[in-house]
Amino acid sequence: MRAVVQRALSASVTVAGEVVGAIDGPGLVVLLGVTHEDGPEQVAWMARKIWGLRILREEQSASDLGAPVLAVSQFTLYGDARKGRRPTWNAAAPGEVSQPLYEAFCTELEQLGAEVARGAFGADMQVALVNDGPVTLVLDSP
């Protein structure tokens, strides 16, 4: 499982002109990719890791502040563009595997205490955010 985590002042996801998920205060935007070997262990690890990361102002975590999280599924995080000009997506898990794990990740964050806004799995989304800092991390689950 791979995540790009960004500290944000605000963020939203729009699908077909309609906002489907948003955070209006300081929080985190998580772009989440799932690969073939991922399962419940990776979901739990990633949710705990992100919820406890001390990347908000004054070295606080989202859990310290009760900061919201906008979670967006993004299979392109597993794109491979090392050869040629067209990326391959072979490392990304198919939707029937990745969608339940994305949903489980969001649920796990909620069980930890997070307010989670979501993108629309598999949709053509426009993601807007005001990156704070900027702070951006890439996390890979063990």
Domains of the chain, start order: 2-140 (3.50.80.10)
Active-site annotation holder among 35, 42, 75, 105: 75
The answer to whether 111 is a known catalytic residue is: no
The answer to whether 88 is a known catalytic residue is: no
| pTM confidence score | 0.95
Helix axes of 40-52 and 95-112: crossing angle, nearest 10 degrees: 40
pLDDT of residue 102: 98
Residue 120 DSSP SS3: coil
The answer to whether 105 is a known catalytic residue is: no
Return the sign of the alpha-carbon dihedral for residues 56, 62, 68, 73: positive
Alpha-carbon gap, residue 65 to 43, rounded angstroms: 22
Alpha-carbon gap, residue 35 to 132, rounded angstroms: 28
- Residue 92 has what DSSP assignment? B
Specify the amino acid at residue 35: T
pLDDT tens digits along 54-112: 999 999 999 999 999 999 999 999 999 999 999 999 999 999 999 999 999 999 999 99
Mean pLDDT of 29-43: 98
Active-site annotation holder among 6, 14, 74, 105: 74
